Amino acid sequence: MDRFASMETFVSVVDAGSFSAAARRLGVGQPAVSKSIAHLEDKLGVRLLLRSTRGLTPTEAGHSFYKHARRAIEEADEAELAARGAGTGLSGRLRICAAVTFARLHILPKLKSFLVEHPELNIDVVLDDRNIDLLEEGIDIALRMGTLGDSGMTARGIARSQRLVLGTPAYFAAAGEPQVPADLVAHQAIIYDQRGGGGAWAFRRGTSEVSVSVSGRVQVTAAEGVRAAVLADMGVAIASEWMFAPELASGAVKPVLVDWSLPPMDLWAIYPTGRMASAKARAFVAFVEAALAASGERASEVVSSHKPRSA
């Protein structure tokens, strides 16, 4: 087996998590996969995989080799695609990452049209509200929201949504509606304990700026928890229009303090350090932009590309 084929086999083993799963994916026998990895380790003079009863885990050298091998395979795929011409469509595998609620409401219901357009493309969707290590997880493109920091990763702003103070009509019927931001201190706040969340809420109206520290008995680490608590009439929350789009449309939740504005929520496309933005990744980002715009979900106040501090 040549060097490039060995690299492809190794990447498939890491992605699949086992020799047998990689063999099925590659359409070869498991002994051939095991032999290829053993030959590769002998040639490199290092152990790439640790074998245990729980499966396979890349060593430190294996992690490093995986990142470079995967990038080489992607660039080879890009070269083939360019040689064949754009008319042949996209193929292979695209691994994306997005926040759970945003993907559930705005990506997954619309993903079928993207797959129909590219019938030879397979997509892995990793759902996580946390900022996971994109290289460690083999992510091609991540969709992240909020204010980014600085690192070697490249980010491009692709959409923006207003943020609102909202709750259910039943909650406001019982607790009253706040008339000014300071009234929120008397309310139960659902605190989102992730980037862009917390208990300090800053408001602006004209030239006036007000910061309010809120509190509540419920604090959650995932947007799905914020949604569930608000819809259970447990309190108010600050959330983007994206997070409660169906309920805002139906009237199941009600925005208050609408004459005050909050910092908007930006949506970013994040590309891992050192990795070219593949045609597949670029096409997916374009699909997300178009899908949000078609739904009227404020998709195109595009923020300038830059290198964020800590993506």
Asked whether the predicted pLDDT for residue 237 surpasses 90, the reply is: yes
pLDDT at 104: 93
Q: Which CATH number fits domain 168-245: 3.40.50.720, 3.40.190.10, 3.40.50.300, 3.10.20.30?
A: 3.40.190.10
Q: Which of 180-189, 216-225, 254-263 has the lowest mean pLDDT?
A: 216-225
Q: What is the third-level CATH fold of 3-66?
A: Arc Repressor Mutant, subunit A (1.10.10)
- Is the pLDDT assigned to residue 198 strictly greater than 80? no
90-161+266-294 and 168-245: same fold?
Answer: yes
Question: What are the DSSP calls for the chain, one per residue?
Answer: --HHHHHHHHHHHHHHSSHHHHHHHHTS-HHHHHHHHHHHHHHHTS--EEEETTEEEE-HHHHHHHHHHHHHHHHHHHHHHHHH-GGG--EEEEEEEE-HHHIIIIIGGGHHHHHHH-TEEEEEEEE-SS---TTTTT-SEEEEES---BSS-EEEEEEEE-EEEEE-HHHHHHH---SSGGGGGGS-BEEE-STT-SSEEEEEETTEEEEEE---SEEESSHHHHHHHHHTT--BEEEETTTTHHHHHHTSSEEE-TTSB-PPEEEEEEE-TT----HHHHHHHHHHHHHHHHTTS----PPPPB--B--
User: Domain segments of the chain: what residues?
Assistant: 3-66, 90-161+266-294, 168-245
The predicted pLDDT at position 152 comes to 57
Is the pLDDT reported for residue 124 higher than 70? yes
Q: What is the pLDDT of residues 16-51, one digit of tens each?
A: 888 888 888 788 898 999 999 999 999 899 999 988
- Residue 26 vs residue 110, higher pLDDT: 110
- Quote the pTM value: 0.66
Superfamily name with CATH number, domain 90-161+266-294: Periplasmic binding protein-like II (3.40.190.10)
